[in-house]
A and B are shown apart, each in its own frame.
Chain A
Amino acid sequence: MRAYRAILAFAAVTAGAPHLSAGFPLVAQNWQDLGPSERYRALRNYQQHERRPEEDRRGIEQRFERWQQMSPDERSRIRQNYERLQQMPAQDRERFQKKYEKWRQQGGPR
């Protein structure tokens, strides 16, 4: 019965939770600090990462290293931009992706 309740609670949490936590945690977190829904999403992300070609995985790990070296202010600014992007309608997010591709083709960050 306890296991059944835990499964139901887990289903309820994973169904409606946002992609990232609403706050802006600036310290590195470990697995034990995460709730079941965050763990579930992390596990999904890990599976997605494992399915990618090695070159893509290396690129993401390099970005993560860069992220870790950023100042708390810079991280906070990027998280805010992420929230802005998440709040956009799907069509606008798609357009943003196209704009990013074009921007990269034009030389990207200089």
Chain B
Amino acid sequence: MHATVVLQQRALRIIAAEGDVDPTPLWAGMRSGIRDAATIDRRWIPASLRAPTWPGLLRPAVLAGATLAVLVIFLLAVGGPQMVLIPLGVESPPPAITRQTELFKDYPLIEQLEALEHFDTVESVPLDDEQVRRHG
């Protein structure tokens, strides 16, 4: 193809040198032909036979890196691999949890047990700012 283009360029230069021929549409036609040939060539070559390009080679590596980064961020956010493996049943929980599962399941409630038992009484206790508002 390169040889053909060189031949056509030489022919065009000879024609252009004659003077009474306008070479502009001929140059444009040749450029368009080269463009089309390049497009057709790439389209008809099977993907498996095309020369690997850098973006094509990098894509799997970028995907793998991004997946790994997401996994690491997730594991850090939940508190480490054990925080995933134990709830999924892959690893055994600490014996204290199996002994007192109810305590650790309802921990926020047990923590505030006294306040929750006397919820309405506690709610009726006026705070200093409420007393100021009432009296002032």
A contact residues vs B (CB 8 Å cutoff): 6-7, 10-11, 14, 19-20, 28-31, 33-34, 36-49, 60-61, 63-64, 66-68, 78-79, 81-82, 84-85, 95-100, 102-104, 106, 108-109
Known contacts A10-B84, A10-B88, A43-B87, A31 near B98 by CB under 8 Å: yes
Q: Mark B68-112, 1 if CB is under 8 A from A, else 0.
A: 000100100011000110111000011011101111111111111
Q: A19-B108, A48-B107, A60-B110 are in contact. Are A42 and B74 (CB under 8 A)?
A: no
- The minimal Cβ–Cβ distance linking A78 to chain B, given in whole angstroms, is 5
Partner of B88, one of A33, A36, A82: A36
Q: Is the interface of A mostly helix, strand, loop or mixed?
A: helix
Question: What total of chain B residues lie within 8 Å of the partner, measured CB to CB?
Answer: 39
What is the minimal beta-carbon distance from B66 to any residue of chain A, in angstroms? 14
Task: Name A37's closest neighbour in chain B (CB-CB).
Answer: B87
Known contacts: A10-B87, A31-B98, A40-B83. The answer to whether A63 contacts B105 by CB under 8 A is no
